[in-house]
Amino acid sequence: MALPRTSLHGFLAHTKSALRNAIDTRQKITLVIGNESADLDSMSCSILYAYVRSMSPPKNAFTPLYVPIINIPASDIALRPEYLAVLKHANIDPGHLTTLDDLPALSDAHSKLVPENTSWILVDHNALQGHLGSIYSERVAGVIDHHDDEGKVPKETGNEPRIIRKSGSCTSLVTNYCRPTWDMLSESALSSGAAHAQGDGMADDDAVVKGWDADAAQLGLASILIDTANLNDTSKTTEHDREAVGYLEAKMMLCARLSASFDRTKFYNEIDAAKRDIGSMKLQDILGKDYKQWDQDGLRLGVSSVVKNMEFLQKKAGDEAETPSAGEALLGSMARFSKERALDVYTVMTTSKSSEGQFQRELLLWAFTDGGAAAAKAFAHKSAEELGLEDWHESGGVGDARPSDGQWRRVWWQRQVQHSRKRVAPLLRGAMAETGH
């Protein structure tokens, strides 16, 4: 049975409880999960898709309820200040988010959450990675994503979508896919008095339903604006993004509490400022905040995206280590981060603005093994022109310190700034595929 129309807050509280019950009673469950970096896009994708789908599931759905999973432990939510800023607008309690902590321990997964009792929908990625992938990858039943297709999702997905196409934000693709169903649900709720039936306590059912829509629309809008720089990044923004923003803003304008005061640029600036507010975080948390990992042909790659420059990272490392050798302190922290994850190749991609206000990128590439070094050198040789790699000769030791024997490291300015991790990671994986064993 489809879930009755409700608020995002009510939906998330219900799904968290339903997952716990499904695990305890060995029942079937459908899970919607974003990628392991768990950025704003992944978070909003999983919630929006599960929310709309649960209130109008396909006729032959694996289960009628779709549970959104945030692909991090609950403790990591505090490392994402942009979450807290957006959730406030969407009237969501962070405690109602379902995270990896709500799944059984991996040692118990085969007995408590039997793979055959699960169906997984991937959003903002198209290959289930890590320990979850090792257990549940054969249970992936659908995907909506904007990264390069890794060929892991079946070509035929039945009632679930298989959408992998270029877009600035994956939330745009989810929004546009769910749009007909969402509109139908809104119209039905308005005509049936759904809010009154749930005992909302407000006399104006119309206002309640439109408020529910506005909450969900703000959740989606925030991630699209962040991923496209308020639709101003021409290298990322597509027609999918513009269409989704128009649709979500129209939903918001139907809500009386927003229609007179909402300002898109002000909204974007608030979320963007929260995302960049990482000064109080520990360096290891900064490196892990927006981190992705892949295993490719016997090699392991990790990529951290950071919203500050190398100078910031060096100062942070030096302050934490209480040493003037800031570059060496940063390299030591990166080495520990990589060792904990058994990486062959580690990459740190930074974004910042120059003193003239120009957007800029830096790229640090560090190989720790012979196989990793071969892949790193192949990447540097083949991708230098496409990425506009230019030797980095700034202050601090991160660009000057010699790597240990058997290792290979370079730091560059990446002058072709339109290429984010969505492009750099496939280039790295391609080099690993060519040189791996």
- 302 and 423 share a domain? yes
- Positions of E strands within 290-358: 291-296, 299-306, 345-353
Model confidence band, residue 169 (pLDDT cutoffs 50, 70, 90): very high
**Residue 357 resides in a domain:** yes
Question: Which residues, at least 6 apart from 142, have a Cβ–Cβ distance to it below 8 Å?
Answer: 121, 122, 153, 157, 160, 161, 162
235: pLDDT strictly greater than 80 = yes
- 261 and 364 share a domain? no
What is the spatial distance between Cα 49 and Cα 326, in angstroms, rounded to a whole number? Answer: 44
Q: Which pLDDT value is given to residue 77?
A: 94
213: pLDDT strictly greater than 90 = yes
Q: How many domains does the chain have?
A: 2
Both ends of the chain: CA-CA distance in Å?
Answer: 49
What is the spatial distance between Cα 190 and Cα 207, in angstroms, rounded to a whole number? Answer: 9
Q: What is the mean pLDDT of residues 292-304?
A: 94
199: pLDDT strictly greater than 70 = no
**Residue 277 resides in a domain:** no
Point out which residues pair with 300 in neighbouring strands: 295
Q: What percent of the chain has pLDDT over 90?
A: 83
- 165 and 63 share a domain? yes
Four-point Cα dihedral 294, 296, 300, 306, nearest 10: -40
Q: Which pLDDT value is given to residue 142?
A: 97
Model confidence band, residue 113 (pLDDT cutoffs 50, 70, 90): very high
192: pLDDT strictly greater than 80 = no
- 247 and 368 share a domain? no
Model confidence band, residue 396 (pLDDT cutoffs 50, 70, 90): low
Task: List the single range of 135-149, 153-167, 397-411 with lowest mean pLDDT.
Answer: 397-411
Question: Which residues, at least 6 apart from 370, have a Cβ–Cβ distance to it below 8 Å?
Answer: 406
- 237 and 310 share a domain? no
Query: Where a domain ends, among 243, 267, 291?
Result: 267
- 21 and 161 share a domain? yes
Model confidence band, residue 437 (pLDDT cutoffs 50, 70, 90): low
- 291 and 260 share a domain? no
**Residue 218 resides in a domain:** yes
- Identify the DSSP state of 388: T
**Residue 414 resides in a domain:** yes
Q: Which pLDDT value is given to residue 155?
A: 94
- Look up the CATH number of the domain holding residue 380: 3.10.310.20
- 80 and 163 share a domain? yes
**Residue 97 resides in a domain:** yes
401/295: higher pLDDT: 295
Model confidence band, residue 193 (pLDDT cutoffs 50, 70, 90): low
200: pLDDT strictly greater than 50 = no
- Identify the DSSP state of 147: S
User: For residue 351, how many other CB atoms are within 10 A of its CB?
Assistant: 17
**Residue 127 resides in a domain:** yes
Q: What is the mean pLDDT of residues 90-115?
A: 90
269: pLDDT strictly greater than 80 = yes
Average pLDDT, the chain: 92
**pLDDT, tens only, 345-359:** 999 999 999 989 899
**Residue 274 resides in a domain:** no
- 201 and 70 share a domain? yes
Q: Which pLDDT value is given to residue 360?
A: 96
Query: Where a domain ends, among 240, 267, 294?
Result: 267
Q: What is the mean pLDDT of residues 56-72?
A: 96
Q: Which pLDDT value is given to residue 401?
A: 61
302: pLDDT strictly greater than 80 = yes
- 74 and 198 share a domain? yes
- Look up the CATH number of the domain holding residue 44: 3.90.1640.10
- 227 and 310 share a domain? no
Q: Which pLDDT value is given to residue 398?
A: 76
Domain that holds residue 113: 8-267
Matching residue, tokens 């939903």: 251
Whole-Å CA distances, 412 to 74, 94, 170, 278, 384: 35, 38, 29, 23, 10
At how many degrees (to 10) do helices 205-228 and 40-55 cross?
A: 150
194: pLDDT strictly greater than 70 = no
Q: What is the mean pLDDT of residues 202-220?
A: 86
Encoded tokens for 339: 């060792």
- 85 and 149 share a domain? yes
SS3 335: helix
Q: Which pLDDT value is given to residue 4?
A: 86
Q: Which pLDDT value is given to residue 393?
A: 81
**Residue 2 resides in a domain:** no
Query: Where a domain ends, among 241, 267, 293?
Result: 267
Number of H helices, E strands in the chain: 16, 11
